[in-house]
Structure 1
Amino acid sequence: MEQPKPTKKLNIVMFPWLAFGHLIPYLELANQLAKKGHHIFFVSTPRNLQRLPKIPQNTSHLITLVPISLPKTPNLPLNAEATTDVGSGHGTDLLKEAYDGLKEPMRKFLEASSSSSQPLDWIIYDFSCYWLPQIVDRFGIRKVFFSIWFARTLSILGPLSELLKGGEGSWIELCTPPRRIPFEDKSVYFLPFEARILFEGLRMATSTVSDVVRYQGSIDGCDVIAIRSCMELESQYFPFLQKYENKVVLPVGLLPPSLENYPMDDTWQPIICWLNKQRKGSVVYIALGSEFEPSQDQLNELALGLELSKLPFFWAFRRSKLSPLVLPEGFEDRTRDRGMIWTSWVPQLKILSNDSVGGFLTHCGWSSIIEALQFGKPLVMLPLAIDHGLYARFMVHKKVGVEIPRNVEDGSFTGSCVVESLRLVFQDEVGQIYRDEAQKLSAIFGDKSLHGKYIDQFNDYLCDKQPSRSQ
């Protein structure tokens, strides 16, 4: 009988960008790798580490949280350590400048760890630390670029450095499916207002470094690209990216979070009491993420649409301290009998799992979509920035929801468009297809066994390709 392959125990560093939309998926991957017996060194700032979800008891002894403080950065607010602390725009630029100041502390940490009796084998890092691969190479550590975006996003981001050389009008090329993709996919495009915002944002230098340089430097310097996606959703994109980037490209699955990691606490009690009073499938859950905000005009129209819809809703209306956004005067009073507005952190996964929630009005962050569809919740989509539009087009293609109609030139929309979208997904007979297809797709998004197999394959790769010096 063939003997089972011995399990290797690796020492792995994880270094995500300073946004909870990145930190949480990185922590989920850390948990999955720790379950394989590997020792994970999870590096971030002290305050971010304190705000992470509690690490499960079965992996806590194998995950070491490594705090590294940001350097003082002019105009960066005191104690700002994540995008949720600064909002979008200039605050995020300052945060990237501070993040670059972690170069020397990271070098010292890697140097000290590499000279220990158990040297590091792998580092798994994010898009913003373009300077990291060159440091890591000095210590013989192998490198994974882990993309929290799905493969379609990387397929568009890859050649942006060339596109940016084309001048002011080059953004128009983002409004049609890329010609370089050798198969048809009509869902891979941006609306004009999205393309302009993305194009200008990527051109903008942060501490003399644009996001294109950050991304491309991180990709070019890695040994392997890992992507939070799966073949069941993007089977054609993985071989395409592997050929395009000339690197190994691996899906790690969707990393669907588990309710077991979100124990009951005082925050949950008033929420569950309210949800349990609502009719099954009737509640609109609204959350627009923590990194990007709508304009005040967009917020006003969104609130108007909710008010006119007459649907019960739970709105996770959490803003940074610097946010100028305010709800329309009298909105809370007029909707008090059927709506709950929550201004602090909420256990989103638990809310989405509740039977009273019939759908999710979302900004289309990938993590939020994964959380909703693992429970079969249809989507009303209001993409706000970066790659959100790509997710929205793909979900529309999958018939699991609708986008709120918008002016394609400036991104504006009306309250009546919000009402129509909500009623279509929640009430109208013609919208039953979205409710049905969301339930069907939950068979992929919520299949822990399926995504566990992707982790197994990723784990096998890390073990097989570990540095030759390791035992």
Structure 2
Amino acid sequence: MASSNDTLANSNNVNLKKWRVFLIPYFARGHLIPMRDFAGLLSANHPDIEPTMVVTPTPSLKPDIETVGIGKSTDSSAIDKAAHMARPGQEQVLQKYKPDAVVADVMFPWIAAIAADLGIPCIFFSGTGAFPILIIRFLLKMGTYLGIHDHVTVSGLPGPEIRMPVLELPTFVFENNNMQKPERVIKSWNDVFGYVHNVIEQGGEGETNCLRWLDNKEQQSVIFVSFGSQCYFKSAQLHELAMGLEESGQSFLWVVRGVDQSDKWIPEGWEERIANRGLVVRGWAPQLAILVHAAIGAFMTHCGWNSILEGTAAGVPMLTWPLAFEQFINEKLLVDVVGCAARLWEGWKRSTKETESELVPSMVIAHAVSRFMEPEGEHSSVHCKARELGAVVRSAMADGGSSMSDLSRLISDLINAMENKTCQ
């Protein structure tokens, strides 16, 4: 028999409902991990939110392949095409289980319309930042006009003028297929309930011997070299990078990805020559833990958004080498707008298409690394700006910081929308 106190407690517990929020990530570690972290933030900041990750089983894509970056580099494009094939399954899941809200990767713009039909709020989750998204919106509106120019100038943004070679633009802004026509993509972005840009991820597990190796290095003496989980170099470029790191005379920690690459790129006797000051990690590495280590003095990066967030939060200056997707746009933000990074080389032909990019020779890499690692050298302002920005980012992520305050407001608005059964 319940006591009067129990009855009072039950009557005071007005909202016993658990709000079911489905999260649908794109098939790539750089998308899966941050969305998983966002799911954790949702549940940690509101006990009534019950997040559920909706992922695609292996057989739906390709045998033994679940995410971009796990198989050979040639498999990545196949998985990218599989994104369009996932639409019927995504719609079926949402209609069957009828969640109270959905958080969808921006790579799935059609989910906005599905959510609208169900009358539930849809939030787009972007694995990249607000700056590249603004640039991409501008480029999508230009449409076919992009193909008649060598460079494009983006207008309407505060700060310095953004002017980019067309070769460095994401290839998808030129595409015009029925699934993702530019006008449909932009409309879906405008119609959703909200938009979330990636938070700093936890980085996942990986090889930890490298952290012990770093423990024996002097402070800020090591350059960390990593190009993410989706980008690959040809053997010839790997060879030049290896030689460049050796010739720089600097200590380095290099993460080499790509199961479809043999060790033929390794120069003869190279591993023996660099044994005392260089370490190569093959596969996945705890990037965030590496970047915050006291021994790290610089970060050579492809400018993927996850890497930018982690490098910035760690206060580490970045040496940029973008390769694909929106990475060249991200580089513009780091180098030309914020000033916390420097380009590895200004004088080479670069492109989001690997076949159109020039080989970067070892002597250029060696020169760039040795100059960048000088704390009081020509890039001293970049080092200083990186430290300042790191403090700002950490403050934003702390309790009461701007990022956490934005998250609280988003959750409050989402709860209100779910209670009132509105998707606007």
Q: Same fold (TM over 0.5)?
A: yes
**How much is the aligned-residue C-alpha RMSD, in angstroms?**
2.9
Q: CA deviation at 1:342?
A: 0.9
What's the offset of the Cα at 1:86?
4.1
Do the aligned partners of residues 452 and 80 (structure 1) sit closer, same or farther apart at CA in structure 2, a change above 3 Å counting? same
Q: Does 1:136 find its partner at 2:85?
A: no
Among candidates 168, 183, 207, match of residue 194 of structure 1: 168
Secondary structure at the aligned position of 1:105 is classed as helix
Q: 1:70 to 1:429 in 2, by over 3 A?
A: same
Q: Is the 8 A contact 2:131 2:333 kept in 1?
A: no
1:1-400 correspondence to structure 2 within 5 Å:
9-35=18-44, 36-37=46-47, 38-46=49-57, 71=60, 76=62, 78-86=63-71, 91-114=75-98, 120-166=99-145, 168-170=147-149, 172-173=151-152, 176=153, 178-179=154-155, 181=156, 183-186=158-161, 188-195=162-169, 198=170, 200-204=171-175, 209=179, 212=182, 215-216=185-186, 218-228=188-198, 255-257=199-201, 267-268=207-208, 270-319=209-258, 321-323=259-261, 326-330=264-268, 331-397=270-336, 398-400=338-340
Q: Distance in 1 between matches of 2:212 and 2:294?
A: 13
Output the TM-score relative to the length of structure 1. 0.75
CA distance in 2, matches of 1:189, 1:20: 31
Contact 2:344 2:365 in 1 (8 A): yes
Q: How many residues align?
A: 394
Identity %, equivalent residues: 21
Q: Distance in 2 between matches of 1:8 and 1:459?
A: 15
Going from structure 1 to structure 2, the CA distance change for 1:95 and 1:461 (only over 3 Å counts) comes to same
Q: How many Å separate the matches in 1 of 2:76 and 2:364?
A: 31
1 CA distance for matches of 2:215 and 2:238? Answer: 27
Q: Deviations over 1:126-153 (max 9, x none)?
A: 2222332333233221111122221121
Whether contact under 8 Å (2:375, 2:383) holds in the other structure is: no
Distance in 1, matches of 2:264 and 2:322, equals: 20
The farther-off stretch of 31-40 and 151-160 is 151-160
Q: What is the correspondence of 1:430-441 to structure 2 with a 5 Å cutoff?
A: 430=377, 431-441=379-389
Task: Sort the Cα spacing of 1:211 and 1:305 in 2 relative to 1 into closer, same or farther, 3 A.
Answer: farther
The structure that has the greater radius of gyration is 2
Q: Distance in 2 between matches of 1:432 and 1:400?
A: 10
Q: Aligned partner of 1:418: which letter?
A: I
The answer to whether the Cα contact below 8 Å between 1:202 and 1:211 also exists between their aligned partners in 2 is no
Instruction: Give 1:463's match in structure 2, choosing from 404, 408, 415.
Output: 415
Q: Give per-residue Cα distances to partners, 1:174-203, cap 9 Å, x unaligned.
A: xx3x12x153433x34345313xx2x4443
Secondary structure of the structure 2 residue equivalent to 1:225: strand
1:409 paired residue number: 349
Letter in 2 for 1:161: L
Conservation of the 8 A alpha-carbon contact between 2:222 and 2:251: yes
How many Å separate the matches in 2 of 1:107 and 1:42?
A: 15
User: Residue by residue, what CA displacement relative to the aligned partner does 1:221-279 show, whole Å, maximum 9, x if unpaired?
Assistant: 52322334xxxxxxxxxxxxxxxxxxxxxxxxxx22458x86xx8x31x2222111111
Structure 1 gaps of 5+ residues are 47-68, 115-119, 229-254
- 3-state SS of the aligned residue for 1:40? strand
Compared CA separation, residues 12 and 203, structure 1 to 2 (3 A): same
CA distance 1:436–1:388, change in 2 (3 Å): same
- For normalisation by structure 2, the TM-score amounts to 0.83
Task: Verify the 8 A CA contact 1:284 1:361 in the aligned structure 2.
Answer: yes
CA distance in structure 1 between the partners assigned to 2:143 and 2:150 by the alignment: 8
Q: How far off its partner does 1:316 sit? A: 0.8
User: How far 1:294 moved relative to its partner?
Assistant: 3.1
Whole-Å separation in 1 of the counterparts to 2:419 and 2:114: 16
Would you say the 8 A contact 1:144–1:225 is kept in 2? yes
Q: Provide the C-alpha distance between the structure 1 equivalents of 2:145 and 2:249, rounded to a whole number of angstroms.
A: 48
Q: 2:391 aligns with which of 416, 425, 443?
A: 443
Q: Any idea what the Cα deviations from partners look like across 1:427-454, whole Å, max 9, x if unmatched?
A: 2522332222211111122232222222
Change (3 A) 1:347 1:382: same
- 2:283 is matched by which residue type in structure 1? S
| Aligned partner letter, 1:109 | V
Q: Closer, same or farther in 2 for the Cα pair 1:465/1:127, shift >3 Å?
A: same
- Distance in 2 between the 1:374 and 1:344 partners? 23
Measured after TM superposition, the shift of residue 285 of structure 1 is 0.9
